[in-house]
Amino acid sequence: MGCAPSIHVSQSGVIYCRDSEESNSPRQTTSVSQGPAAPLHGLFVQTDAADAIPPSCASWAPGAARVRRARGELGSGSSGGSVAPAVTTCRGRRRHCCSSAEAETQTSYTSVKVLLIFAKEDSQSDGFWWACDRAGYRCNIARTPESALECFLDKHHEIIVIDHRQTRNFDAEAVCRSIRATNPSEHTVILAVVSQTSSNHEEASVLPLLHAGFNRRFMENSSIIACYNELIQIEHGEVRSQFKLRACNSVFTALDHCHEAIEITSDDHVIQYVNPAFERMMGYHKGELLGKELAELPKSDKNRADLLETINTCIKKGKEWQGVYYARRKSGDSIQQHVKITPVMGQGGKIRHFVSLKKLCCTTDNNKQIHKVHRDSGDNSQTESHSFRYKNRRKESIDVKSISSRGSDAPSLQNRRYPSMARIHSMTIEAPITKDGLRRLSGNEYVFTKNVHQSHSHLAMPITINDVPPSIAQLLDNEESWEFNIFELEAVTHKRPLVYLGLKVFSRFGVCEFLHCSETTLRAWLQVIEANYHASNAYHNSTHAADVLHATAFFLGKERVKGSLDQLDEVAALIAATVHDVDHPGRTNSFLCNAGSELAVLYNDTAVLESHHTALAFQLTVKDNKCNIFKNIDRNHYRTLRQAIIDMVLATEMTKHFEHVNKFVNSINKPMAAEVEGSDCDCNPIGKNFPENQILIKRMMIKCADVANPCRPLDLCIEWAGRISEEYFAQTDEEKRQGLPVVMPVFDRNTCSIPKSQISFIDYFITDMFDAWDAFAHLPALMQHLADNYKHWKTLDDLKCKSLRLPSDS
């Protein structure tokens, strides 16, 4: 007992560590083979069986069991002959690092990388090595200044530890200066290990170290816990701050390329940042603005006298202000801007900065100024107009198709057999399928062939429906028709169709009068809701929401629907259609549950997105009085309206699809058929006096509106089919990247047949539902479109064509 451990190598190449002569049991064995790299101490090292390499024993003192982490160090070798070049492996991956004597820990839990620069291995280098291993950092060791610099330039370490105790091997301060001379070192913390000061010597100043480029000094201490504590403090202090600084650089790069004018001022309104778009809009160079107070800049005389005071009062309270403001360019011209000013809070809730986003309003005077700005900025304007085209990050929803029609060959409701439960349970039920102006490339990749101008122009928001621009108003004249082209509205409104269509439809149904709110409040609400749809989604965006709103309004215009619902039901249906997919991430419920997303956790994996849509819609509505359309109705009306909206949005969740359809058939269709035939039936009658039936009608109506794409004219149907397919392709791609279960394997962009997927969706979900809805609402035009579209997909499928159109139509 108390004996130093001895090392023995068996003929089989197994290392045995014995604590004493009496112990023959192997302790932490490691197989060592001739030549190739073998794992040891969390490293991979090049070794021979004849070499005696001590294994890792936690009880050893760091200096007593020096581990030869990398054989073949520059300028050194074993006594037995030549040494192979150092080979490092990070987590099983072979790497050569500048032929340096450099080894790397195998275990890593964080993204922090540490470089140890020690000419010779000793207890101090061991201490830092095992501290890195304990903290889960990636750690490299270099023996010479040259190999250290080469390794650092290769891996960009966050922390570097340099041995400053002795000068005969290398000059630590010179090594530090050489590293600091490189660009990557800007975000690196460099630590100097210095010798302990004897009690009779005065402690040396740290200034020479700081001047050389070191950030910290560490008094020699080979204790692993001391080294560990030092590294952890650096990570939680300087390293994390550097991570934030790096992110700031990326943020400012994004701001520099943003097409909106952005101005950042201090809490006392001193300009601290303007982006190039601001320079172009206002005609100033940033050098003329930075450091100036806003009060020093010329003001336009077109604003109300009290406007600036109103703005300051609002933002000084920490509230966001947005509205129209006239600004004066350097040339003296006044331009009208949409401005949003957001206070930025610091520690203690104190306002630190104000961020202003500015867009030009679309007026005749501004058009002249815009032309002038673009002419003055030359080629730069082209670059700016092509950058950041896709502003918003929202996704669209899925489409369903159906095929029966009253005047077609499709079987009638009574003769149709409903899908068996076996077929239902064998499917993953998600939402419908469809895409915008798609042209097929190789495989199943598509590009947009129309509506390519994705950037938002400076289109002024209408104050009321009467202020809508003529080109948009002309399109909206046809909004009561089922043939209404939502994609034309999407293009002319620059991807903001929901506000314009919403103003028209809500006006037609007298929503403002029912809610006792102004059209200004309604417009503000529509703007907020549309802003929270993801424009970047291929399908689940505000265009899909506008399409569902249009279909809902169309259904509400049908005589039997109109006669079965109250005005409160109509208002609830229009609001539910508007918000039913707000903030949709472009991924299905199953994806969110499999990924363990915050929403899935919050809603217990049940109707995750539908619950989020309704909750967020009400949060957005009531948080700001300016857009609260419910603020003037009494509590009872609000509760009834709220419950109706929630119930309708939750009905769009597809796992209860067949339950909703069957209830509608049994409670609505069968009594109607019995009434027509004059037979006795115990079923509930239909009408305003039966709230249960009204609920079923509203659910069925929004479900059909949500997946009405297969019943649209063929061009619109094809467009939607492409969009939903692209969104599903993107989900499958992401599931494969993240190693998640593939929810819809049929939607693999390399193998998917879109016609076949549409046929399946129509067969399983759409046909029976629209048969039932048609039997109630009488929709011959829709059912004919459904039959025609189904025939189109069948023709493509018969031709084994995976694209969206027949070759003759391309």
| pLDDT for 110 beyond 90 | no
Q: Residue 581 annotated as binding? A: yes
Q: Residue 706 annotated as binding? A: yes
pLDDT digits (tens, 9 = 90+) for 756-807: 999 999 999 999 999 999 999 999 999 999 999 999 999 998 888 877 776 6
> What pLDDT is recorded for position 680?
55
> What pLDDT is recorded for position 807?
61
Q: Residue 46 annotated as binding? A: no
Q: Choose between 147 and 77: higher pLDDT.
A: 147
C-alpha distances in Å from residue 64, one per residue of 30, 78, 616 = 19, 19, 62
Partnered with residue 328 across adjacent β-strands are 334
Q: How confident is the model at residue 544 (pLDDT cuts 50, 70, 90)?
A: very high
Q: Choose between 651 and 21: higher pLDDT.
A: 651
Maximal C-alpha separation, the chain: 114
> By mean pLDDT, which of 381-385, 472-476, 635-639 is the weakest?
381-385
> By mean pLDDT, which of 286-290, 457-461, 542-546 is the weakest?
457-461
User: Residues 170, 173, 177, 180: what is their CA dihedral angle, to the nearest 10 degrees?
Assistant: 110
> What pLDDT is recorded for position 308?
86
Hey, what long-range contacts does 206-213 have (CB within 8 A, 24 or more apart)? 208/173, 209/164, 209/173, 212/173, 212/176, 212/177, 212/180, 213/173, 213/176, 213/177, 213/179, 213/180, 213/185
pLDDT mean over 263-276: 91
The catalytically annotated residue of 41, 338, 540, 613 is: 540
| pLDDT for 18 beyond 90 | no
Nearest CA to 329 out of 275, 289, 290, 379 is that of: 289
| pLDDT for 747 beyond 90 | yes
Q: How confident is the model at residue 366 (pLDDT cuts 50, 70, 90)?
A: low
Percent of the chain with pLDDT over 90: 52
Percent of the chain with pLDDT over 70: 71
* β strands within 186-268, DSSP E: 189-194, 216-219, 261-266
Q: Residue 543 annotated as binding? A: yes
- 442 is written with which tokens? 């190789």
> What pLDDT is recorded for position 681?
52
- 564 is written with which tokens? 């079965």
pLDDT digits (tens, 9 = 90+) for 137-146: 999 999 999 9
| pLDDT for 672 beyond 70 | yes
Q: How confident is the model at residue 352 (pLDDT cuts 50, 70, 90)?
A: confident
Q: How confident is the model at residue 408 (pLDDT cuts 50, 70, 90)?
A: very low
> What pLDDT is recorded for position 688?
54
| pLDDT for 652 beyond 50 | yes
279-280-284 Cα angle (round to 5): 45
Q: Residue 541 annotated as binding? A: yes
Sorted by sequence, the CB contacts under 8 Å of residue 309 that are 6+ apart come out as: none
In the three-class reduction of DSSP (H, G, I as helix; E, B as strand; rest coil), residue 115 is classed as strand
pLDDT digits (tens, 9 = 90+) for 718-740: 999 999 999 999 999 999 999 99
Q: Choose between 51 and 692: higher pLDDT.
A: 692
Phi, psi of 191 (to 5 degrees): -110, 130
pLDDT digits (tens, 9 = 90+) for 319-343: 889 888 999 998 888 898 989 999 9
> What pLDDT is recorded for position 384?
38
> What pLDDT is recorded for position 572?
97
Cα–Cα distance between 474 and 605 in angstroms, integer? Answer: 45
| pLDDT for 433 beyond 50 | no
Cα–Cα distance between 12 and 249 in angstroms, integer? Answer: 56
Whether residue 540 lies in the annotated active site: yes
Total residues belonging to the chain: 810
Sorted by sequence, the CB contacts under 8 Å of residue 167 that are 6+ apart come out as: none
> What pLDDT is recorded for position 448?
34
- pTM for this predicted structure: 0.49
Nearest CA to 669 out of 775, 756, 594, 565 is that of: 775
Region of residue 40 (left: phi > 0; alpha: psi -120 to 50; beta: else): beta
Rg of the chain over all Cα atoms, to the nearest angstrom: 35
| pLDDT for 682 beyond 60 | no
pLDDT mean over 67-89: 36
* Owner of token pair 């469809």: 434
> What pLDDT is recorded for position 466?
65
| pLDDT for 44 beyond 90 | no
> How many CA atoms does the CB half-sphere of 385 hold within 13 Å?
13
> What pLDDT is recorded for position 738?
93
> How many CA atoms does the CB half-sphere of 431 hold within 13 Å?
37
Q: Choose between 688 and 389: higher pLDDT.
A: 688
| pLDDT for 422 beyond 60 | no
| Mean pLDDT taken over the chain | 77
Q: Can you say how many angstroms the Cα of residue 194 is from the centroid of all Cα atoms in its chain? A: 47
Phi, psi of 163 (to 5 degrees): -75, 110
pLDDT digits (tens, 9 = 90+) for 67-76: 343 333 333 3
CB 762 within 8 Å of CB 401:
yes
Q: Choose between 774 and 407: higher pLDDT.
A: 774
With b for 16 or more beta-carbon neighbours within 10 A and e for fewer, the 381-395 pattern comes to: beebeeeeeeebebb
> What pLDDT is recorded for position 603?
96
Cα–Cα distance between 759 and 434 in angstroms, integer? Answer: 12
> What pLDDT is recorded for position 77?
37
